Amino acid sequence: MGEDVTRCGYVAIVGRPNVGKSTLLNYLLGQKISITSRKPQTTRHQVMGIFTDGLDQVVFVDTPGIHREQPRAINRYMNRAASSALADVDLILFVVDRNRWTDEDDRVLEQVQHAAAPVALVINKVDLLPEQEVLLPYSASMEERYGFDSIVPVSALRRANIDVLMNYIRERMPRGAHFFPEDQITDRSQRFLAAELIREKIVRQLGDELPYTTAVEIESFRQEAAILHIDALIYVERTGQKRILIGDKGSRLRSIGTEARKDMEVAFDSKVMLKLWVKIKTGWSDDDRALRSLGFEDY
């Protein structure tokens, strides 16, 4: 009898903003590690998710959406982070939103064409198509546009075809030893995840008023007996934004804190005491030094 063979590889999830990359990652992993919202550019960092089942290990890299060049430092950072994820991976999942191909999808396609790894096209949100019959001709037109390794229609939110996609991914992983322990699900620290959960609630509740002008820094993260105490600073750029974030008599900040705390208690399997403060840090999103101090790495 032959020996059991382990497989392990890296998979980059790329696409323009708001096509559902983070939601797809969370459902592929079976748990939440990447924050989501209806606002584009919610993901700012490369977030690594680790799936291990039996002999197979898949290391996913969720990336910020690749978008047109914009002048602010944070936008340049996000594009560099997304592009760097394409290096040294074994498979690329190029996620698109149904049949809504845009100029920004063309930009992503240009990037993946230069990568060495095979590229699978993942057509997401197919449950929102008014007529499913358009899928076949659209897939055929995509096949003519670029020789994809595979084309897989899914609905990440409805979990439709996720098992088919996962089986395809596992089959494409090269033979080799696992890189991470089988119980590890991300390379990110708990402090990072706590900050991201707070930012998710801000984007979900105030996405229209404060689209991309907040950042979160965890000042204190300590376990005392059965309670995890987390103190966090939320940075905004102007006084008016601070007022919006705090809300009438602190109501908005309390709501954000309550929602974030609930998710933290699930993520960290502990009762959480969360304290939030809001601070003005003018121009942080266009200041390379400020971005580094807030955990944005250089790529």
In this predicted model, what pLDDT tens digit does every residue of 191-236 receive, in sequence order?
A: 888 988 898 888 888 877 775 667 888 899 999 989 999 999 998 8
Length of the chain: 299
Residue 85 confidence (pLDDT) above 80: no
Domain 190-293 CATH assignment equals 3.40.50.11720: no
Residue 17: CB atoms within 10 Å? 18
Per-residue pLDDT band at 243 (split at 50, 70, 90): very high
Element (H, E) at 10: strand 7-14
Q: How far is CA 169 from CA 91, 160, 279, in A?
A: 8, 16, 43
- Within the chain, all domains assigned CATH 3.40.50.300 are found at 7-172
Q: Is 92 helix (H, G, I), strand (E, B) or coil?
A: strand
Q: Average pLDDT of 141-155? A: 93
Of the candidates 194, 188, 186, 195, which has an alpha carbon nearest to the alpha carbon of residue 294? Answer: 195
Identity at 214, one-letter amino acid code: T
Contact 218, 259 (CB under 8 A): no
Q: Average pLDDT of 134-163? A: 91
Residue 66 confidence (pLDDT) above 50: yes
pLDDT tens digits, one per residue of 97-142: 998 999 989 988 988 888 889 999 999 999 998 888 899 999 999 9
- Within the chain, all domains assigned CATH 3.30.300.20 are found at 190-293
DSSP letter at 41 equals T
Alpha helix segments (H runs only) across the chain: 21-29, 73-84, 103-113, 135-145, 162-172, 190-206, 239-246, 251-268, 288-293
Task: Determine the pLDDT at residue 19.
Answer: 87
Class of domain 7-172: alpha beta
Task: Determine the pLDDT at residue 277.
Answer: 95
Contact 8, 56 (CB under 8 A): yes
Task: Determine the pLDDT at residue 92.
Answer: 94
